[in-house]
Chains A and B, each alone.
Chain A
Amino acid sequence: MPTKNFNKTPYALTAPGVLFFTALLGAPVVMTFVLSLHSYDFTTGIQSDWTLANYADVLGDSYFHKIFARTFGLGLLVTAICVLIGVPEAYVLSRLSSRWRSIFLLVVLGPLLISVVVRTLGWALLFGGNGILTMIAQALGFSDEPVSLMFTFTGMTIALVHVLVPFMVISVWASLQKIDPQSEDAALSLGASKFTVLRRITLPQAMPGILSGSIIVFALTASAFATPAIIGGRRMKVVATAAYDEYLSTLNWPLGATIAVLLLLANIVIIVSFNKLIERRYAKVFE
């Protein structure tokens, strides 16, 4: 039957992808969720009971509230700074002649070729008490004390912005590429100054790219592990490092799983509602 074949084809074609994600993403997520529903005893380990006690623990403890607040605060700050740096960077890139553009695109994307851990350790060298930052500050006479950004919120923010700004640049760059350059000429001919063209014509058309870049940067910051672990350390915990510590230091796997599940849920809620907002605002305008 030709109709039956027609119905099967899309399923058959997507099956490998679906299987791949089920096995490698779906199964671990489900197992983590199941694990979070068991209780933990320090002498006998993971129990086989079913309980929501872990959730009550995390949601009721001000220690975790602070970690969650710090994580999402960090996410918002890093996203905001990436917008401020990445949007002008992408705009300048789009204005360069094609030869310079490919060179600078490589410069922008180059850091992505280096492991996050290596890059972060590089920042640790800069930020440490006997690092370059201290030497410069002391040489210039700003400070006699060692200046350290290690284990500080500022240090984590700087390192994460450095890691994530290329994602913002790529996203904004893609939407700038779609703009009809004649629409900028048209605005000029209608009496708009170059700055007005940028503000009223170019930026609004790049908005979808800025917003989707923000989603990417926010999601990556909220779930970032390596950078907060190295720069933030034990003193400046975020949700991902807190979950890691529960697993490996306290060995309380169910509590670690609970933290991970809550992070996932919070991320999904924030990103989906932000995306809805974008779609409602821009679907009417852009194809």
Chain B
Amino acid sequence: MSFLRFESLKKEFGKFVAVRDMSLDVERGEFISLLGPSGCGKTTTLQMVAGLLQPTSGRILLDGKDITNMRPDKRGLGIVFQSYALFPHMTATENVAFGLEMRGVGKADRLARAHAALEQVRLSQFAHRYPKDMSGGQRQRVALARALVIEPPVLLLDEPLSNLDAKLREEMRIELRLLQQDIGVTTILVTHDQEEALSMSDRIVVMQQGDVAQIAAPLDLYERPTNTFVSDFVGTTNLLTGQVSQPGKVSVKGTDIDVDTASAGVGAHVTLSIRPEKFRLSDEKSNQEVRIDAAIFLGSSWLYRVTGQLGELFITQPNTGAAGYAKGDTAFLDWPKGALTLFEDAV
């Protein structure tokens, strides 16, 4: 049996269904992300695990024990809140030591453990500062140390990086993931940032309006999304609508495209998804001639918006050091056969 298990969790607020029917098995030491746009039910799910919200129905099992009706202060889970929720009237050390104090750890012992935890997040020199004298990144790490020092069976992270600036966020992603692997703590991260979910998780649960849209490992989720919502929400993609003209061919705006049509019968309306980076843009003649509408240099890559027979497409090409295409240029488009994913739900 898995370490943490959600059994048909459901949460209603009056008539509004925040989480419809959520079941999930989390293994010990696994890093799971709940990913979705705001209002999809991911934070509600996290709060039910934390015990701050009572599910309308369903069960939560931790290590085989039913914790659905257990009070939050008895669950012993570590939580990092979006606002960090540090205690403003306590120093960093006092913040971190609070959970140990509540567990009746002696003063000398809890101070030593709080210092060790602050050291783990590289904040030893700020031990005696108050939260208001620390930067966002430092506060975030105090919150992390405070959640980890009680050695929780499960660490819950509620959009912990969303208040940091872009560069710090990327650094913290790596740091947080390494720390999590180091300690081996089972972790659930709530985020709306797909990059964050892709870069840190073992598995990602994509949620949409209270439902689970897909559960998969990051690479699988990115390469093999099972519906258009996931394919559009995770990463960026080009969605093309068309109709199956014969087995193995889909007609998009009068052009037949080779694709594995699988179960879709002839005449079915389908959506094709192709990631911007799967395209090859070159001067080598192919049957897809496109005009460059816009060219944006992103440093490591180029982003183009092009118009051709298939309509408007977004394309990224790695920066090789050579000059890219400019607005108004003509180029030819090509892609490997497996680059297209077919969905039977038309957008």
Contacts and interface: CB of A to CB of B under 8 A. Distances in A.
Interface of A: 180, 182-183, 185-194, 196, 200-201, 204-205, 207, 284-287
Contacts of B103: 191
B85 A186 contact: yes
A194 B52 CA distance: 12
Contacts of B87: 183, 186-187, 201, 205
B51 to A, nearest CB: 8
Contact of A180 (B52, B75, B76, B83): B83
B124 to A, nearest CB: 20
A190 B89 CA distance: 17
A287 B132 contact: yes
B6 interface: no
A225 B162 CA distance: 55
B77 A189 contact: yes
B332 interface: no
Contacts of A196: 102
A287 B73 CA distance: 29
B130 A284 contact: yes
A189 B83 contact: no
Interface residues of B, number: 29
Contacts of A285: 88-89, 130, 132
B132 A286 contact: yes
Contacts of B75: 189
B141 interface: no
A134 to B, nearest CB: 48
Contacts of B51: 188-189
Contacts of A193: 73
5 contacts: A183-B87, A186-B81, A189-B79, A190-B98, A190-B99
Given A182-B81, A182-B83, A192 B132 contact: no
9 interchain residue pairs of minimum CB distance: A190-B99, A191-B102, A182-B85, A186-B85, A183-B85, A182-B81, A204-B89, A189-B79, A188-B72
A188 B150 contact: no
A191 B83 contact: no
Main secondary structure on chain A at its contact with chain B? Answer: helix
A232 to B, nearest CB: 40
Contacts of B82: 182
Contacts of A189: 50-52, 72-73, 75, 77-79
B70 to A, nearest CB: 12
Nearest to B71: A188
Contacts of A200: 98
A193 B74 CA distance: 9
Contact of B73 (A180, A191, A207): A191
B150 A190 contact: yes
A187 B83 CA distance: 14
A164 B79 CA distance: 41
B5 interface: no
B18 to A, nearest CB: 17
B188 to A, nearest CB: 13
B192 interface: no
A207 B150 CA distance: 28
A239 B79 CA distance: 56
B97 to A, nearest CB: 10
Given A285-B130, A285-B132, A190 B88 contact: no
B88 A185 contact: no
B76 A191 contact: yes
Nearest to B103: A191
A166 B170 CA distance: 50
B52 A190 contact: no
B42 interface: no
Nearest to B72: A188
Contacts of B203: none
Contact of A286 (B50, B79, B88, B98): B88
A286 to B, nearest CB: 6
Interface in B49-107: 50-52, 71-79, 81-83, 85-89, 98-99, 102-103
B169 to A, nearest CB: 20
Nearest to A178: B88
A188 B72 CA distance: 6
Contacts of A286: 88-89, 132
Nearest to A287: B132
A191 B76 CA distance: 6
Given A205-B89, A284-B130, A285-B89, A185 B81 contact: yes
B268 to A, nearest CB: 48
A284 B90 CA distance: 10
Given A183-B85, A186-B86, A189-B75, 18 more contacts: A180-B85, A185-B52, A185-B81, A186-B79, A186-B81, A186-B85, A189-B51, A189-B52, A190-B99, A190-B146, A190-B150, A191-B74, A191-B102, A191-B103, A196-B102, A200-B98, A201-B87, A205-B87
A181 to B, nearest CB: 9
Contacts of A182: 81-83, 85
